[in-house]
Structure 1
Amino acid sequence: MERDGSPESPPREGPSMPGECPSSDLGQTLSQILHHLTGQESRRGKTRNAALQDLSALLEATECDQLFEGSDTSLGGVPGVLGKVTTALEKYAAPPKEEQGRGDGYSAVAEKAAAVGLLFIKLLRKVEAAKKSLVGLAWKRGLRHWAGPIYMFAITHSVQQPWTRPRSQDVAREVLTLLLHVAECGSVAGFLHGENEDEKGRFAEIMGLLQPDLNKESWKNNPATKHVFSWTLQQVTRPWLNQHLERILPPSLLISDDYQTENKVLGVHCLHHIVLNVPAADLLQYNRAQVLYHALFNHLYTPEHYLIQAVLLCLLDLFPVLEKGLHWKGGAARPTTHCDEVLQLILTHMEPEHRILLRRTYARNLPAFVKRISCRLVVLLKALLKLICDVARDSSLTPEPVKSALLEEATDCLLLLDCCSQGQVKGLLVKIPQSCEDSKVVECVRKVQQVSEGAPYSGT
């Protein structure tokens, strides 16, 4: 094997060609490589490069079945040690903090990623060969130690990011394709949640690997962590997602609560995916839906139009969950719903808004609030009729001009509700003039009925 002739290069134990070690020494040789990747001297770039060369030579010289020796033991045998090596390699190729990696730093990351990716390809080729020669499922037990770190590496480097380059992306994509092939999975989703009911899938494992880097203190140490989490989360849908709710909801809220708009939007997309793919009963449990609502509602005070767009789309899908158990029977004042709060805030913000993109975002989403009107038609109609009746029968000292103004505004609301419901209000009011004895109430109802179906409404 080619050795580093630099005087700074630390001495390495064992023969010059690790692949020449007998199979019983394979685990020891891998442990030495792991030490060179993670030990104190690993901070020297030449030491790590030498370790990568050693591992490459070892994989080439080792028979495929030797990589799975001891996979059924408590410590995992050779696959267990190799699993620690793959984890070290994944961390070695990970991008540094954003402020440390810009420019040439990110180019160096791409070079490391390409080199590590080629090693993962060699390892997966060995697994592919072992499937044909090994008896039983030893290869599956071995792959269980390696699949998680290799997957995280592939997702980190396979798409365009500041730390990737075309070469590293191509290698990472090949790694992901080969991983799915070796694991006998037709898609990333199948890899994560299992291809069938009997197979567990690896989503919980991936979330476990991400968990240490997804707390408040550490989630920005690696700029790829949020992207791997978000992308992985959105591959898993119903009915598999709800069982992982305790692991996926806190990181999504954490990312959405960041001061950077880019992270806020990413977090809101994660929350939206959860709302769409977790049953309402699970979201309502432990007040989760309320927590989601307040986290999203606070974003409506920000001026970034693309964040507002993401938040409103998420809220529109959250409203049916929040209002699932709300039923108003007309005996008292109708409670203000979450939908009412959001609509009121949108209209309040939209009226004086001079920024065109933000104003267009508000306007673009108003029709969605109108189209939900039909399912609330009876509730809103009851509320308006109760208001009209209460004002008409009011015997207090309220001045008559005030009462007249209230009745006029309530009638205008009835007309608007009729427009939003394509004329359904007229049909529901048809019997009121025949049974009601209050002339003021009847007058309001007749105003609504007199507006012709095709005539444009010109009220306030």
Structure 2
Amino acid sequence: MDFKTDDLEAFKCLLTSWDSSAEPRQSADMICEKLKQISSVDVICYLAVVRDVKWDISHTKSLCYCLTVGSEQWLKPAVDRYKESKEFQKHYWSVLGKTLWFSEIPELSDAEYYEYDKADFNECAEKSACTMRFCVTLFKLLMDLHEDRLLKDIMKHLGAYITVLIITNCETAPWTSNSAIQMSEKLRDLLMNFYGCDCMADLLKLCLELDSAADTEQVLPNTLLQLTFNYLRPRVRKEKWKQNPSYMKCFVKCLCYIWLPDLGEYLDSVLPVSLTLVDDHMTQNKVLGLKCLSHIIRNTSRTELQWQCRADVIYEAVKLQLYSKEVVLLELAIPGMLSILEVVEPYYKPVEPLELTPRKYDQIFSMLLFSAEMESLIAVRRTYTQHLGAFIARMSVAAVKHSRRFLRLVTAYLETYDGPEETSRLNTLEMLNTFITQAWPRIPHRVPAIVKTLLRLMYDVSLDSSLTPVSVKQELMKKARCSLELLQCVAPTQLNNCLNQMLEIETTPQCVTIMKELLAPVS
């Protein structure tokens, strides 16, 4: 290139004038005078062709400061040269690439078990904030110069780097800072305004323009999201993802931005990584993986999930998590299993449920009932009772095949006090009401056992002198009475026989009143 190295002494001086602050040590007036001696073309060519220049934060800060102080007048010669010279275009892309690559977060190669804290990401936040400040300044100047085409070219070639930079710094993390988060928001809002997008999801779905017929023949998708996934894929492989926690968080964020019907196009990119997370031994990673799988199930069509046995793979992965005793895992695994079962084995409502051979619904429901029956931890019990009712509602009358074990579980749970909130008992009563409603043809055979369990609960509650609030006791009595009223609708004769027998036994006035009120319409 036809520039003199001596003319760049002012820029070299600027490179060495930075300290830990955001402003150079020299006065702004002095630097403005020095900038008049050099052009943006010379600076870009110098940074691109000088091989012994090791890129550091001073280069990014200097470029950003030149753009800020020199404004569009300083940048315009470089834009004009870009349009005229292909050789200069190479230098231009080289400098932009170096600036963005410099802000990449390094792998945690030496960390034991890849546990990390803020000390493992020293200077990463400062690098990211500085790079995003440079991007914001450059993009604003290009908009002022009405160089929209050049800005779109930057997004086409380097959009994946910019997107990852924005998303990895969008919320508090060991590799971010308040300054980086603020610059991330500014850069995101700037790009959204430029492309006319309402949210980040719309920006990621942006289909980048193609320049030539040669580009049109490429097979690779050209949405910003696909380019981002292509960038992240080698960094979140099974062998690498624990060394790149920032990129894994970025991957999960990108996944959450895709909804129905767009997610199906990216299943090959997102499903393997989600399964890898679920398969990890750390609970926090399992939780993240289950959230990803739940999002995929909700936002992908049944047909797409059934292709290539994807649904079966998800089913097996979620099934393994049902053996866990971690509440946070069960809270995600049980609803996730119910969702994937709808894809793997769409259930039907048979006329004769006892003629059915055991299916996946029966296997999973039986496994959950067994685990719940053997469980002694109150918190885990609450989780089971919260979600088992949804299984019964989905299985409908076919749930009667499990009535013996289910009613044994109901009896055991209603006999157990689980704290002032009585969450487990309330959930169990709600679950029982669902069972009576769905499996009503077979309920008459079970009325004596159900009535005995309910009246025992009402007796215990009416004599309860613990710290349980009165409102909770009233709610328990209300739900128990509701169960009895459902039995009255389903099997009135059996219920009346049971209540008449129970009236002969000494009990509390409150229980007697309820039984007489239930018998009153008949007598």
Structure 2 match to 1:452: 492
- Partner of 1:110 in structure 2? 125
Change (3 A) 1:50 1:338: same
1:168: how far off? Answer: 2.4
Change (3 A) 1:209 1:75: farther
Specify the code of the residue in structure 1 equivalent to 2:167: I
AA aligned opposite 1:272: S
Structure 2 counterpart of 1:185: 197
Residue of structure 2 equivalent to 1:50:
58
Whole-Å separation in 2 of the counterparts to 1:167 and 1:216: 32
Contact (CA 8 Å) 2:279, 2:286: kept in 1 or not?
yes
**In the alignment, is the contact (CA less than 8 A) between 1:106 and 1:162 conserved in 2?**
yes
Paired with 1:263 and 1:347, the residues of 2 have a C-alpha distance of: 27
State the partner residue of 2:103: 90
Q: Identify the match of residue 207 of structure 1 among 218, 221, 229.
A: 229
Give 1:128's aligned amino acid.
M
Cα distance change of structure 1 residues 101 and 72 upon mapping to structure 2, 3 Å threshold: farther
Letter in 2 for 1:216: K
Residue 286 (structure 1) aligned with residue 326 (structure 2): no
> Structure 1 residues 365, 115: CA separation in 2 closer, same or farther (over 3 Å shift)?
same
CA distance in 1, matches of 2:208, 2:320: 40
Residue identity matched to 1:420: T
The CA deviation string for residues 42-80 of structure 1, in whole angstroms up to 9 with x for no partner, is 5xxxxx133223432454444257358259979964663
Distance 1:313 1:417, change over 3 A: closer
Q: Which moves more between the two structures, 239-248 or 176-185?
A: 176-185
Give 1:42-441 correspondences, 5 Å limit.
48-60=56-68, 61=70, 62-64=74-76, 66-67=78-79, 69-70=82-83, 77=90, 80-91=93-104, 93=105, 96=108, 102-106=117-121, 108-130=123-145, 133-134=146-147, 137-194=149-206, 201-324=223-346, 334-374=356-396, 377=397, 419-421=436-438, 423=440
Once the 2 structures are TM-superposed, how far is the Cα of residue 324 of structure 1 from its aligned partner? Answer: 3.2
SS state at 1:194 partner: coil
For 2:340, give the aligned amino acid: L
- C-alpha deviation, 1:249, in angstroms: 0.8
Q: CA contact under 8 A between 2:372 and 2:381: conserved in structure 1?
A: yes
Q: C-alpha displacement at 1:160, in angstroms? A: 1.4
Deviation of 1:349 (Å) = 1.0
1:151 CA displacement:
1.6
Residues 307 and 289 from structure 1, CA distance in 2 versus in 1: closer, same or farther, beyond 3 angstroms?
same
In the TM superposition, residue 276 of structure 1 has moved relative to its aligned partner by 0.9
Q: Distance in 2 between matches of 1:419 and 1:71?
A: 79
User: Residue 59 of structure 2 aligns to which amino acid in structure 1?
Assistant: A
Distance 2:89 2:441 in 1: 69
Q: Which moved more, 1:115-124 or 1:95-104?
A: 95-104
In the alignment, the residues of structure 2 paired with residue 326 and residue 284 of structure 1 have an alpha-carbon distance, to the nearest angstrom, of 18
Worse-matched range after superposition: 360-369 or 72-81? 72-81
Deviation at 1:244, TM superposition (A): 1.3
Structure 1 residues 18 and 127: CA distance shift in structure 2, 3 A: same
Code of the residue aligned with 2:294 in structure 1: it is: H
Q: Which runs of 5+ in 2 are unaligned?
A: 1-12, 19-33, 211-220, 403-431, 445-486, 499-523
2:374 counterpart SS class: coil
| CA distance, structure 2, for counterparts of residue 266 and residue 182 of structure 1 | 33
Tell me the distance in 2 between the aligned counterparts of 1:357 and 1:328: 35
Cα deviation, 1:429-460, whole Å, max 9, x if unaligned, reads xxxxxxxxxxxxxxxxxx999822994999xx
What residue ranges of structure 1 are gaps of 5+ in the alignment? 7-16, 43-47, 385-414, 428-446
| Inter-CA distance 426–340: structure 2 relative to 1 (3 Å threshold) | closer
Percent of residue pairs identical: 22
| 8 Å CA contact 2:232, 2:251 repeated in 1 | yes
In the alignment, is the contact (CA less than 8 A) between 1:124 and 1:182 conserved in 2?
no
**Structure 2 CA distance for partners of 1:247 and 1:329, relative to 1, 3 Å:** farther
Q: For residues 259-303 of structure 1, what are the alpha-carbon distances to aligned partners after superposition, in whole Å with 9 as ceiling and x for unaligned?
A: 111111101111111111111111111111000000110111122
Cα gap change, 1:197 to 1:164, in 2 (>3 Å): closer
| Cα distance change, pair 221–417 in 1 and its aligned pair in 2 (3 A) | closer
Q: CA deviation at 1:138?
A: 3.7
* CA-CA distance at 1:193 after TM superposition: 1.5
SS at match of 1:253: helix
Does the aligned pair in 2 maintain the 1:272–1:314 contact within 8 Å?
yes
Equivalent position amino acid for 1:90 in 2 = S
Name the aligned partner's letter for residue 137 of structure 1.
R
Give the aligned partner of residue 437 of structure 1. Answer: none
Is the 1:255–1:263 Cα contact (8 Å) retained in structure 2?
yes
Which deviates the most, 362-371 or 94-103?
A: 94-103
